Amino acid sequence: MFVVGLTGGIGTGKSTFAALLLERGAQVIDADALGRDALRPGAPAWHSVVDQFGQEILVHPSMEIDRKRLADIVFNNREALKALNAIVHPMIFKAIADELDRMRSTDEVVVLDAALIVETALADICDAVIVMDSTDEARIRRLKRDREMSFANIRAVMTSQLDPQVLLRRADIAVSNDGTPEDLAQEADRVWARLIEMKDARA
């Protein structure tokens, strides 16, 4: 198993690039999906988050957590973000560990798609780190279009994340995502070939 951390700031295109690597043969672990699963109604983390932030973050009648409302709270309040991370991160890390254990004896390239690879101990378990990079203008345009986020919320999230230059200094492979979808597909071809080279060299 060759573990690749895929990271980058919000709006840089991590999920899109993960999907392209999946098409080329990677196994993908999506930390966001694991986080959503950890917060399903009735789960232990769901109870803890509702206790911490109140019933107003729930959507009725499903009782699911309104992720947009929760994001509005935590990305404008550093202490609230720390409290949320303290609840959810251990659940996500445990789920990641379980997924990696399941594939440990395989020859797969496993891509871990997660925003906090560098900020947490996740970087220590990766054989290589890919960092997505994009201009602020392109990121803002994507987030407004795809997530319907306000400019204020986009800025709040971007400010809460590591400086892109800090991330890039930790990259084994950097991917610029300022062009067309076809450009990004070509980058995926390049990166996939490089990952296979790195995996084979380690074998």
Residue for token pair 């043969």: 25
pLDDT in tens, 134-150: 999 999 999 999 888 88
The rounded Cα 60 to chain-centroid distance in angstroms is 27
What per-residue confidence (pLDDT) applies to 154? 87
106 has a pLDDT exceeding 80: yes
| Percent of the chain clearing pLDDT 90 (strictly above) | 76
The model's pTM:
0.90
DSSP track, the chain: -EEEEEE-STTS-HHHHHHHHHHTT-EEEEHHHHHHHHTSTTSHHHHHHHHHH-GGGEETTTTEE-HHHHHHHHTT-HHHHHHHHHHHHHHHHHHHHHHHHHHTTS--EEEEE-TTTTTSGGGGG-SEEEEEE--HHHHHHHHHHHS---HHHHHHHHHHSPPHHHHHHT-SEEEE--S-HHHHHHHHHHHHHHHHHHHHHH-
